[in-house]
Amino acid sequence: MPIHRTASGSRDGTRTLVAVLTAALAVGTPSAAGSVTGSVAGAREPICVSESRPEAAKRLNERILRETDGREGTVAVGVSAYDGDLTCGLDPDAGFDAASVGKVVVLGALLRTAVDEGRELTAEEERLATDMITVSDNDAAGELYGRLGSERVQRFLDLAGMDQTKLHPENYVGLMRITAGDQLVLLGLLRTDNDVLGADERSYARGLMGDVVEDQRWGVSGGAPEGAEVYLKNGWLPHKGTDTWRVNSVGGFRGTPAGDYDLVVLTDDGPGMRYGVETIESVAVGVHSALAGGEGRTQRPRAWSPPPSDGSDRA
């Protein structure tokens, strides 16, 4: 698919998005990252804020805390809705290993590099990008990262204002460090007008994330409004030699009754992949329900066998 270049290369259009998210999320940051129970118990400020929709913020606040309270391991949550007027941040600055969620960063860097060079993606780059996102292929991710090099990937992060995202020194995609706040910035770049990625680049990225294979469409899509456009990327990676997992899910939702919004849930040190998925989907159902004005919806048990490690610590 040809991608026609429209981005200008200026960072100014992104600074506003970064500033809004950073300021809003900082208001709702609980104490330091740690166990979810500890973070929730120590919270002194609401994690969700909105000037024009305080009742929606209150519903979201209560539901996110309810779904994360008592869960094992660490959890961070980010929400941006109503053009950034409503934001939620549960430990938004806490660092997590990206797992395969980091592949969206690589995609963004690839698209931005093509903008800088004033060209379309090559057929080979399109093939690699498709494999990297839709089936989470690690060889494709490693090949693209190797072609780009860490300097170009870092340039994309700098332009995006994703200052808390740290690349791995050996360029392992799954071991870059990410935060919920930075992931909201990235999702915002894929959804809204900005000077880092043009309209065609944004559409292309959302299209790939919308075509993720069915058995990888769990996570933040849980409980999404019927008929909404859903695009997402997940990551699932055990700590070596253990059954404790890093399970992450990020995504955007367009055409919902509540408009367009983004959702990030990052987890670490959970007892198994299924547990991590259950944590994420419980939060997701709560967020979708609260934005729709509901309170009572719960997640149905998932009848599936969790896949093995995504292997992104080797790519």
Spell out the per-residue pLDDT of the chain, length 315, in tens. Answer: 444 443 444 444 444 455 555 555 654 444 333 333 334 444 447 899 999 999 999 999 999 999 999 999 999 999 999 999 999 999 999 999 999 999 999 999 999 999 999 999 999 999 999 999 999 999 999 999 999 999 999 999 999 999 999 999 999 999 999 999 999 999 999 999 999 999 999 999 999 999 999 999 999 999 999 999 999 999 999 999 999 999 999 999 999 999 999 999 999 999 999 999 999 999 999 999 999 986 544 555 566 677 789 999 887
**217 domain-assigned:** yes
**Is residue 196 one of the residues assigned to a domain?**
yes
Number of domains present in the structure of the chain? 1
Is the residue at 3 inside a domain? no
CB atoms under 10 Å from CB of 58, counted, come to 15
Q: What is the pLDDT of residue 112?
A: 98
pLDDT at residue 293, rounded to an integer: 84
Sequence letter at residue 152: R
| pLDDT of the residue at 308 | 85
Domain assignment present for residue 132? The answer is yes
Q: Is residue 133 domain-resident?
A: yes
Q: What CATH number has the domain bearing residue 238? A: 3.40.710.10
pLDDT of residue 67: 97
E strand segments, the chain: 48-50, 74-81, 86-90, 96-97, 177-178, 229-238, 244-256, 259-271
Instruction: Give the model's pLDDT for residue 122.
Output: 98
pLDDT attached to residue 303: 61
Name the residue with tokens 């990008």.
Answer: 129
Q: How far is 51 from 45, CA to CA, in rounded Å?
A: 15
Residue 1 within a domain: no
Residue 300 lies in a domain: yes
**CA 24 to CA 39: how far, in whole Å?**
18
The pLDDT of residue 307: 75
- Domain hosting residue 82, numbered range: 38-314
With vertex at residue 33, the alpha carbon angle to CA 301 and CA 286, rounded to the nearest 5 degrees, is: 30
Alpha carbon distance 258, 79 (integer Å): 13
Q: Is residue 13 part of a domain?
A: no
**pLDDT recorded at residue 301:** 53
Angle between helices 180-191 and 12-27 (to 10 degrees): 140
Q: What's the sign of the alpha-carbon dihedral 218, 221, 223, 229?
A: negative
